Amino acid sequence: MTIRWFEYTECIYLYKNGQVTERRGYEGRLSLNTQEMERGNVSLRMKNTQESDSAVYICQVIHGEQEEETVMYLDVKEGKWSITPVHDYKHLNNNTNQCLSLYN
């Protein structure tokens, strides 16, 4: 399974064959719960959010021949945040979910 998280068009987090690559500036702030992935949960956890994290985020999942994608907008202001789905998607097990979790 390959999971890519993008901020706009730049890949900020890549999970492929058990290996993780994070974009500079995000090291230690991003994580996936690998135990949940087989259930279709590919939520990205982002710690220590800041206003500069406000952006469009894209989650792309490739599993065998299947490819799924979702797009959302994260707005961070004065320590508060909101997530607006631009497109919903169905997990590989057909459960619809937003897939960005934030922790300050």
Q: What is the pTM of this model?
A: 0.78
Q: What does the pLDDT look like over 12-39, one tens digit per residue?
A: 999 998 999 999 999 999 998 888 887 8
Domain encompassing residue 44: 2-103
The residue with tokens 């997530």 is 83
Q: How many domains does the chain have?
A: 1
Which domain CATH number covers 33? 2.60.40.10
Helix (H, G, I), strand (E, B) or coil at 74: strand
Report the distance separating Cα 99 and Cα 103, nearest Å: 13
Q: What does the pLDDT look like over 45-87, one tens digit per residue?
A: 888 888 888 999 999 998 889 888 888 888 888 766 666 666 5
